[in-house]
A and B are shown apart, each in its own frame.
Chain A
C-alpha cells in the first residue's frame, strides 16, 4: 500500500508492505537511523518517536497507521541551522548517554514528557521514563538531564 508520512517536516511517500512497522519506515524508507529497535515486546522504548507531537513506540505502530500524520525523530530535534534542542544540550551537559543506543528514544520520550509536564519532580521524571530502558547509565544522569532541560525550557519561557 501507499503511505505518505511527514518525517521531521519532510513528506516521505512510498509503496510499502501493509505490515511495515513505523520503526522500519523511519529507518529504511525515510533513511533515518537514529531511531533504534531494542526489543520485540514494546518494552524498551529505544524506538520512541513523536507522532503528532506525542511519544509513541514506533515498533508498535504500523506505517499504515501513521499515514498522513507527522513523525518527529531525534534527527528532527536540532534546528534547521544545526543548533541543538534543549534536550540534546542537557544530555550532553549532564553526561546522560554512554553507548548512545537508547538515547534517541529516551530524548523523544523526555521531550514528550516535558511537553505535557513542564515542571516535573524527580519522581515524575523517573515514572515518565518507565517505558525506556537504559543499560549503561543507571538513569542517574538521564534524570539530571531531563530536569536540566525542564529548567532550561522554563527559563526560555520566562524570557520570551
Chain B
C-alpha cells in the first residue's frame, strides 16, 4: 500500500519536543563564541529629519564594541530612486521603529543600556499616518516626487465596469485592516567569519534569496557567503528572504570583522517587522433581483507603509483575484499603492488574496441582503460551474480546477445549515439577547504564483539510505516528513532511512524557498523528479548487474529492491546499486518549473453568537472545505488548515495594528495587539475535499494560506448576519464588541 495520502506523524518532532530545537538565538557554536550582541536604536518618531546623531555617550559604555550609523555605510549612489529604502536612516526617518543606529556589545544585557545613550536629534515633519492623509499629497514622504503613490495598476475592465441592466447596485467602502504577523520567534540573525567567508544564520524562509540580498547590500561575492536557516519559529510570509534590519546586522559583521548575533524584542518586532494587509477597498456590485450578479468593481488603495517593499505587488494580486469564485459578465479592479509614515507592509499569510476574497465575499452578502435572498443561494447562482474549468476570470486569472458549488454544499451539509437558520429564526422571534449569526465564504486563491520553480537533489548511498536536499525551507510545515514520504513512495526506501536537508546554501546553492504555499507542488515535485532520475540510473545499473533488459526489471517499492519481474531471487538492494554507481552513490538533481500557478479553493461556514447588549461576538463553530488538490499527508494538511483558520478568525474579530494621528503605534506590545488565544476559538470542523490539478504530477495545490483566506470573510459575514435583523448592513474589521455595539445602536437609531 502506498504511503501517499496516509496519516504519518512528523519526523521533525523528536528534536523539537525534547531539546526544543535550535533557533537562531539558541546557537552555541564555537564560531559564535564571543559574538557581539547587536541592539538597534530605532526612531521614536514617525516622520522627521535627523539633524544629528551623537554616539559618544554609548561608545564609552562598558562592553561596547562599536556604534554604527548611516555615516559608516557607503554613500548611496547619486540620482538613485528617491523611494529606495536605506539600511540605516540617514537624513530622515519615515516610521516609528525605523533603524537609525546599531550598537554592538560584548554582553547581551549591555545592549539596551548602551542603545539608550545614543542621542539622536529629530526635527519633526508632519506625519502621514494613514491612506487618507497620503492621498492628499499635502506631505510627501520622498522629496523630489510629485505624490505619495508608489505604484498603480488595474485588472479586467479596471474602473470602466458596466452596471447596465442591474436592478440593484451597491457601493461600499470597507477596510481590510493592517495586521502584525507575530511569528512567535522574532527576527534573528547571527554572522561569523571563517577566513574571508561569512556564515550567516538567519531566521528566514529563503536562505538562498537571503544570500543574494545580503551579498548585494554588503558588497560581498555571494560565493563568500553561506546562509543557514536554523529552526525557524514561524514566518507566515514576514520572513521572506531578509529585511533591512537583518541585512544591517550582516553588514555590521562585514564592517567590523566581528562575529555578531541579533534577536529583536517583541516590542521591536511589532513595529520593525513588516505588517500585512492594510487596504481601503471600495466595492461596487450590481445584479438582478433574482440573484444574478452582473457586475463587480473593486477599487483598492494599498497602504505600503513608508517604503514600497511589497505593497504594489500585493495589491496587484488583489486585483488579479478580485472576481473570486464567480462567473461575472463584467468585472474590473484597480489599485493605487501609497506611502505612509508607518511600518512597511509586505507578505503576511495570504498576501493580497485574503483581501480580494474578503471584499467580494462581503459584497455578495451585501447584495444578498439587499435583494432579501439567502447568501448561500446567491453564491450557488453565481459561482463558476464545475464544467467550465480551466476558467479565465474577468480580472485575468486562469483557474485550473475547482468545484465551488460542491464545496459550499459540503460545508452547509456538514454544518446542518437549515437547522442553524431555524435556530436563528427562533431567537430572532423571541428577541434573545444572544443572537446567532451564520456567515459563509466561497473562496479561491492563487498558489505558487511566483513561477520561480524549485530544486531538489536526491542521493542514495552505499548503505541504501537516501538523502534529500530540498530548495524548500520549512518553518513548521513538516517538509522533512512529507518529502521522505515522497521518496519512500518513489524508491521504496523506508522513511527511517531517509534524511532531508534544507536551509543551507552550501548544501543547496540554488533555490527559491518557501512562501506563497508553493513548497509541495514545486519543491515536492522536484523531489519526485530527482527521485525518478535516481530510479532511472538505478534501473540502468541494475540491468547491468543482473544482466537483464531494463524493461524486464521492476522496483518493488514495498521491499525497496530491484528484481527481474517474477523472479525475486534476483533482488538487488539500493545499497548494492549505489555501490556499483561509485563512491558517491546514486545522485540526481532536478528543477521543477510549473507551467502555471494553481488555484486551491474552498468554502467556510462560521457560526457566531453575538451578545446584542455588549456587542461581543463568540465563534461557536467553524466548518470548512479547503481543497488543495491531492493531499499527501492529512495530518500536515489539517494542521495548516487549523493554523490558517485561526489567523483569519483573528483578523475578523480581534487583531489590528493601530496608529495615532501622529503616526505613533498604539499596538506595539502583545498586551495591546490582540493576538488570538485558545479560549477565543472552537475546535474546527474540517471536511475533506480533493480536486487535483494537472499542473504538477502530484496533483497538488498549496494549502498553507487557504484557511486564512476563507475564514476571515466567513466570520465577518457571520457577525453582521447575527445583527442584520436589527438593521445592520456592515461592520468593519475587526468586529470588536464596541464596533458591533455601535453598529447596532446606529441601526436602531436610524429606524
* A interface residue numbers (CB < 8 A to B): 17, 19-20, 24, 27-28, 31-41, 43-44, 46, 74-75, 77-78, 84, 88, 91-93, 95, 97-104, 107, 122-123, 125-127, 129-144
A132→B669 CA distance, assembly (Å): 15
With A35-B20, A39-B670, A134-B184 as contacts: A139 and B265 at CB distance below 8 Å = no
With A99-B185, A138-B646, A138-B681 as contacts: A84 and B108 at CB distance below 8 Å = no
Q: A31 to B266, Cβ gap below 8 A?
A: no
Q: A95 to B638, Cβ gap below 8 A?
A: yes
Q: Which residue of A lies closest to B236 (CB)?
A: A135
Q: B645 to A135, Cβ gap below 8 A?
A: no
Q: Which of B8-16, B74-82, B91-99, B569-577 contacts A (4 or more CB under 8 A)?
A: B8-16
Q: Which residue of B lies closest to A97 (CB)?
A: B16
Q: A122 to B683, Cβ gap below 8 A?
A: yes
A88→B13 CA distance, assembly (Å): 9
With A33-B20, A36-B20 as contacts: A101 and B185 at CB distance below 8 Å = yes
Selected contact of A24 from candidates B108, B231, B233, CB within 8 Å = B108
Set of chain A residues within 8 Å of B20, measured between Cβ atoms: 32-36, 74-75, 100, 103-104
Interfacial residues of chain B within 451-495, with CB under 8 A of chain A in the complex:
475-478
Q: A101 to B23, Cβ gap below 8 A?
A: yes
With A99-B476, A127-B679 as contacts: A135 and B639 at CB distance below 8 Å = no
Q: A39 to B643, Cβ gap below 8 A?
A: no
Selected contact of A43 from candidates B232, B476, B639, B669, CB within 8 Å = B669
Contact with A along B662-676 (1 / 0, CB 8 A): 000000011100010
A130→B681 CA distance, assembly (Å): 11
Set of chain A residues within 8 Å of B678, measured between Cβ atoms: 125-127, 129-130, 132, 134, 139, 142-143
> Residue B660 at the A interface, CB < 8 A?
no
A98→B481 CA distance, assembly (Å): 12
Q: Which residue of B lies closest to A98 (CB)?
A: B476
* B interface residue numbers (CB < 8 A to A): 9-10, 12-14, 16-23, 25-26, 28, 108-109, 181-186, 231-234, 236, 265-267, 475-478, 635-636, 638-639, 642-647, 669-671, 675, 677-679, 681, 683-684, 707
With A33-B26, A99-B234, A138-B643 as contacts: A91 and B476 at CB distance below 8 Å = no
A99→B638 CA distance, assembly (Å): 15
With A126-B679, A135-B183, A135-B643 as contacts: A140 and B21 at CB distance below 8 Å = no
B3 → chain A, closest Cβ, in Å?
A: 17
A97→B16 CA distance, assembly (Å): 9
Set of chain B residues within 8 Å of A28, measured between Cβ atoms: 108
Q: B266 to A41, Cβ gap below 8 A?
A: yes
A92→B481 CA distance, assembly (Å): 13
Q: B679 to A140, Cβ gap below 8 A?
A: no
Set of chain A residues within 8 Å of B684, measured between Cβ atoms: 138, 140
B517 → chain A, closest Cβ, in Å?
A: 14
Q: A103 to B675, Cβ gap below 8 A?
A: no
Q: B265 to A34, Cβ gap below 8 A?
A: no
30 residue pairs from A and B, CB less than 8 Å apart: A24-B108, A33-B19, A33-B22, A33-B28, A36-B23, A40-B265, A43-B669, A43-B670, A44-B266, A74-B17, A92-B17, A98-B234, A98-B476, A99-B183, A99-B234, A101-B21, A101-B183, A101-B184, A102-B233, A125-B678, A126-B681, A129-B677, A131-B677, A132-B677, A133-B182, A133-B675, A135-B234, A138-B707, A140-B684, A143-B678
Set of chain B residues within 8 Å of A98, measured between Cβ atoms: 234, 476-478, 639, 643
A102→B14 CA distance, assembly (Å): 15
Set of chain A residues within 8 Å of B669, measured between Cβ atoms: 39-41, 43
With A34-B20, A93-B9, A100-B21 as contacts: A133 and B639 at CB distance below 8 Å = no
Q: Which residue of A lies closest to B231 (CB)?
A: A100
Q: Which residue of A lies closest to B15 (CB)?
A: A100
A77→B679 CA distance, assembly (Å): 26
Q: Which residue of B lies closest to A92 (CB)?
A: B13
Q: A46 to B184, Cβ gap below 8 A?
A: yes
A24→B109 CA distance, assembly (Å): 10
Q: A95 to B643, Cβ gap below 8 A?
A: no
Q: A92 to B679, Cβ gap below 8 A?
A: no
A93→B477 CA distance, assembly (Å): 16
What are the 10 tightest A-B residue pairs by CB atom distance, in nearest-first order?
A: A34-B20, A101-B233, A138-B646, A99-B476, A98-B476, A100-B16, A138-B642, A43-B670, A33-B26, A39-B266
A144→B681 CA distance, assembly (Å): 13
Set of chain B residues within 8 Å of A74, measured between Cβ atoms: 17-20
With A44-B670, A135-B643 as contacts: A97 and B17 at CB distance below 8 Å = yes
With A100-B20, A127-B679, A133-B184 as contacts: A41 and B670 at CB distance below 8 Å = yes
Q: A130 to B17, Cβ gap below 8 A?
A: no
Q: B13 to A139, Cβ gap below 8 A?
A: no
With A92-B17, A95-B638, A138-B681 as contacts: A17 and B475 at CB distance below 8 Å = no
Q: Which residue of A lies closest to B711 (CB)?
A: A138
Set of chain B residues within 8 Å of A75, measured between Cβ atoms: 18-20
A58 → chain B, closest Cβ, in Å?
A: 13
Selected contact of B9 from candidates A17, A92, A99, A133, CB within 8 Å = A92
With A40-B267, A97-B17, A101-B23 as contacts: A19 and B184 at CB distance below 8 Å = no
Q: Which residue of B lies closest to A88 (CB)?
A: B17
Selected contact of A133 from candidates B10, B21, B267, B670, CB within 8 Å = B670
Selected contact of B233 from candidates A100, A138, A142, CB within 8 Å = A100
Q: B683 to A99, Cβ gap below 8 A?
A: no
B670 → chain A, closest Cβ, in Å?
A: 4
Q: A130 to B679, Cβ gap below 8 A?
A: yes
Selected contact of B109 from candidates A19, A35, A41, A136, CB within 8 Å = A19
Set of chain B residues within 8 Å of A100, measured between Cβ atoms: 12, 16-17, 20-21, 231, 233, 476
A100→B10 CA distance, assembly (Å): 12
Set of chain B residues within 8 Å of A39, measured between Cβ atoms: 266, 669-670
A127→B438 CA distance, assembly (Å): 25
Set of chain B residues within 8 Å of A24, measured between Cβ atoms: 108
With A33-B28, A126-B681 as contacts: A40 and B642 at CB distance below 8 Å = no
A70→B241 CA distance, assembly (Å): 41
Q: Which residue of B lies closest to A24 (CB)?
A: B108
Q: B23 to A137, Cβ gap below 8 A?
A: no
Q: Which residue of A lies closest to B10 (CB)?
A: A95
Q: B642 to A137, Cβ gap below 8 A?
A: yes
Set of chain A residues within 8 Å of B671, measured between Cβ atoms: 41, 43
Set of chain B residues within 8 Å of A17, measured between Cβ atoms: 109
With A97-B16, A98-B643 as contacts: A38 and B681 at CB distance below 8 Å = no
A37→B185 CA distance, assembly (Å): 8
With A36-B233, A43-B670, A135-B675 as contacts: A103 and B639 at CB distance below 8 Å = no
Selected contact of B645 from candidates A38, A129, A138, A141, CB within 8 Å = A138
Set of chain B residues within 8 Å of A140, measured between Cβ atoms: 642, 646, 681, 683-684
Q: B646 to A139, Cβ gap below 8 A?
A: yes
Q: B13 to A38, Cβ gap below 8 A?
A: no
